[in-house]
């Protein structure tokens, strides 16, 4: 009889990390049976791999950014990240509590047939795994000692991690693993960060001019926020182009369709000349939905208003300039937390939603970074330390297989 592993995760980035480990596990141990329970959102990262989803999923009004009730109440790191409590109340009205209870019940039922669970995220999937009574491993994607100098792990999560049923604890960076080991959690280790394993270029021809720097636009993945962020980034592109020649390539999710781009262009005085090509005066922005890795690998700098994508840019050694949007995700508290997590590679301009004055300030900062080779070299070194090299998916998968 084949062994069975259930993957638990709670968020877009968490699903991505877990699904990459799952994919590597299938290659290493093809006889293992795998299933998943994405606790936040619809679990598209799993669905793309045809992984069975064992319980109910739902797209909530916040777009999945609000952590579920238990995580909100028990994890201090989540407090204040969303400065608009209305989004949380909307999630509650949409059935958040009932959804969570049905998911817990589904996990408890299915886990009785499992040999191991793999919880990726914060306290929420860890507690889901713990209450099943089954052996599990945990990947603390949402926790890092870089935030405060010491990893903040809620008491209930630490109880679960210290239990004999928790066989291994993985961290997102080496600094956090060292911190937790020194605090007596000897089963902790850093085996790599899987999100760095999906950045192999596809060979997409971006039609770049080698004489001008290329700037990547990372507006995020959740609508309608990502489209609003892109609007602010287009204003920043104009301001940069007025100061020096540059090329702009936007990495978009498929849900930002050409129809939505056309509407945004009409609002801001741009033209959509052809699929994904936005023009205003002498400023050209080329939008892609299938060239994320190519854009990140080739860019000189990224304009970031995202979570996971910014981490990946930093991991590749790219400097990132952040401007603040209206949320619910990319507010100033979130941007400030990104700076603490990812270090000197990130500069955030402004503490409120970007105004014309702040956009001008951000354009000046972009130009100064592009002409500072010492700083860009520092970003390469910092990326290796804070995020790490590729290969994490396979390394973690080997522990699961063993």
Lowest mean pLDDT among 204-213, 369-378, 392-401: 204-213
State the pLDDT at residue 86: 64
Residues 164 and 248 in one domain: no
Using the predicted structure, report yes or no on whether residue 21 has a pLDDT greater than 80. yes
Q: Is 135 among the domain residues?
A: yes
Which pLDDT tens digit goes with each residue over 102-131?
889 999 999 999 999 999 998 999 999 999
Q: What is the dihedral of CA 251, 252, 253, 255, to 10 degrees?
A: -170
Q: Is 304 among the domain residues?
A: yes
Residues 245 and 170 in one domain: no
Q: For residue 327, what pLDDT band results from cuts at 50, 70 and 90? A: confident
Residues 358 and 395 in one domain: no
State the pLDDT at residue 82: 45
Residues 109 and 250 in one domain: no
Residues 165 and 75 in one domain: yes
Residues constituting the chain: 402
Q: Is 229 among the domain residues?
A: yes
Lowest mean pLDDT among 16-20, 68-72, 84-88, 374-378: 68-72
How high does pLDDT run on average in the chain? 90
- Radius of gyration for the alpha carbons in the chain, expressed in angstroms and rounded: 21
C-alpha 360/C-alpha 379 separation (Å) is: 23
Residues 296 and 158 in one domain: no
Neighbours of 28 (CB within 10 A): 13
State the pLDDT at residue 100: 83
Give the count of domains, the chain. 2
Which position has the higher pLDDT, 254 or 25? Answer: 25
Residues 120 and 242 in one domain: no
| Mean pLDDT, range 312-318, rounded to an integer | 97
State the pLDDT at residue 216: 98
* CATH number of the domain encompassing residue 311: 3.40.50.2000
| Mean pLDDT, range 48-70, rounded to an integer | 69
**What domain range is 187 assigned to?**
4-193+389-401
Residues 174 and 234 in one domain: no
Here the tokens at position 345 are 């590679």
Do you find a cis peptide bond into 233, omega within 30 degrees of 0? no
State the pLDDT at residue 68: 39
| Mean pLDDT, range 68-79, rounded to an integer | 42
Q: For residue 72, what pLDDT band results from cuts at 50, 70 and 90? A: very low
Residues 184 and 327 in one domain: no
Q: Is 209 among the domain residues?
A: no
| Mean pLDDT, range 250-259, rounded to an integer | 93
Residues 95 and 156 in one domain: yes
Which pLDDT tens digit goes with each residue over 340-375?
999 999 999 999 999 999 999 999 999 999 999 999
State the pLDDT at residue 62: 59
Any residues with CB less than 8 A from the CB of 375 and at least 6 apart, and which?
A: 319, 369
Which position has the higher pLDDT, 88 or 153? Answer: 153
């Amino acid at each position: 009889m084949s062994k069975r592993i259930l993957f638990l995760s709670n968020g877009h980035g968490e699903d991505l990390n877990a699904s990459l480990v799952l994919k590597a596990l299938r290659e290493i141990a093809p006889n293992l049976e795998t299933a998943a329970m994405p606790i936040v959102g619809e679990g598209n990262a799993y669905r793309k791999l045809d992984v069975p989803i064992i319980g109910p999923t739902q797209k909530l009004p916040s777009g999945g950014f609000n952590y579920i009730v238990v995580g909100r109440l028990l994890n201090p790191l989540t407090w204040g990240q969303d400065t608009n409590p209305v989004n949380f109340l909307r999630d509650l009205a949409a059935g958040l509590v009932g959804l969570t209870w049905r998911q817990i019940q589904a996990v408890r039922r299915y886990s009785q047939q499992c040999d191991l669970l793999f919880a990726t995220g914060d306290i929420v999937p860890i507690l889901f795994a713990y209450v099943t009574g089954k052996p599990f491993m945990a990947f603390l994607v949402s926790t890092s000692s870089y935030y405060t100098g010491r990893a903040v792990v809620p008491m209930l999560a630490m109880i679960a991690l210290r239990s004999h049923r928790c066989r291994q604890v993985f961290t997102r960076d080496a600094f956090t693993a060292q911190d937790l080991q020194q605090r007596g959690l000897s089963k902790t280790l850093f085996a790599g960060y899987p999100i760095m394993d999906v950045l192999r270029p596809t060979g997409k021809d971006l039609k770049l001019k080698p004489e001008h720097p290329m700037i990547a636009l990372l507006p995020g993945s959740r609508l309608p926020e990502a489209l609003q962020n892109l609007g602010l980034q287009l204003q920043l592109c104009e301001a940069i182009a007025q100061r020096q020649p540059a090329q702009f390539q936007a990495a978009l999710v498929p849900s930002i369709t050409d129809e939505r781009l056309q509407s945004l262009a009409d609002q801001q005085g741009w033209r959509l000349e052809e699929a994904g090509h936005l023009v205003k005066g002498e400023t050209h922005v080329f939008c892609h939905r299938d060239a994320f890795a190519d854009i990140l690998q080739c860019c000189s700098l990224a304009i970031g208003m995202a979570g996971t994508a910014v981490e990946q840019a930093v991991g590749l050694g790219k400097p990132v300039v952040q401007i603040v949007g209206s949320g619910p995700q990319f507010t100033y508290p979130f941007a400030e937390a990104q700076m603490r997590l990812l270090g000197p590679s990130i500069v955030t301009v402004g503490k409120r939603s970007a105004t014309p004055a702040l956009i001008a300030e951000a354009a000046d900062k972009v130009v100064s970074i592009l002409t500072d080779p010492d700083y860009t070299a520092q970003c390469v070194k910092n990326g290796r330390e804070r995020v790490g090299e590729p290969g994490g998916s396979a390394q973690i998968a080997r522990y699961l297989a063993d």
